[in-house]
Amino acid sequence: MEGKSHRLFVALEPTDLVRRRIAATAAHLRRSAGRAADDVRWVVPENVHLTLQFLGAVPEPRVEAVADAVRAAAAGSHPLALEVHGAGGFPNARRPRVVWAGIQGDVAALGALVQDLGRRLAPLGFAPEARPFSPHLTLGRARDVRGAPGLGGALAEAAQGDGVGWRAGELVLFESHLSPKGPRYEAIVRAPLGRSSEGR
């Protein structure tokens, strides 16, 4: 058996204002959906984040190289003006397996950051996600793999809501600690976006 490993992922961490909006949106969805809301395992607001790349189990000797890649990708980017807006479901709102809040704003720059991060992590053995990057904040996941029926109306209503601004200023390398009570996420590296460039 090999030595200790760390379950890691790279993400942007929402501001307190965004977390409050997320909590309000999720609460509204649950009220609107009624009993159908019980078919979803809702994410607690403090665990909501915008995942850029999931790494999985990383052997301890490789953690520092991963951290360096995260810092380099952050330095090559710049703070992002994002907006959390609306809600929906993957693969569709009729039987969503994932319930999400949408992301608007600097999504092209966000996508470029994800690509740069992937290029820097690939030589370390972490292949980028094969699917196109679709920025979102996961609010909940269906308890049944076939999806959660009955949320379509609630999601359509939530999609019309006002957005909330989010200035993302740092890239975060998180470690996920799993337990019967649910996951706990620990930030082990916080890398400012655009540290190497004059403001933009």
Q: Compute the distance between CA of residue 150 and CA of residue 83 in angstroms, rounded to an integer.
A: 27
The confidence band for 42, taking pLDDT boundaries of 50, 70 and 90, is: very high
Tens-place pLDDT, residues 61-75: 999 999 999 999 999
**Burial grade of 186 (CB within 10 A; 0-12, 13-18, 19 or more):** exposed
Tens-place pLDDT, residues 124-171: 999 888 788 899 999 999 999 888 888 888 888 888 777 899 999 999
What's the CATH fold of domain 5-192?
Cyclic Phosphodiesterase; Chain: A, (3.90.1140)
Which tokens belong to 77?
A: 């980017």
pLDDT value of residue 94:
87
Q: Is 134 helix (H, G, I), strand (E, B) or coil?
A: coil
Q: Compute the distance between CA of residue 120 and CA of residue 142 in angstroms, rounded to an integer.
A: 33
Q: Can you give the pTM of this predicted structure?
A: 0.89
Q: Is 159 helix (H, G, I), strand (E, B) or coil?
A: coil
Q: Compute the distance between CA of residue 175 and CA of residue 126 in angstroms, rounded to an integer.
A: 16
- Strand-by-strand arrangement of the 184-192 sheet: 50-59, 5-12, 170-177, 184-192
- Count helices and strands (H / E) in the chain: 4, 9
Residue ranges per structural domain of the chain: 5-192
* Range name among 12-21, 110-119, 142-151 with the lowest pLDDT average: 142-151
What are the backbone angles phi and psi of residue 27, rounded to the nearest 5°?
-65, -40
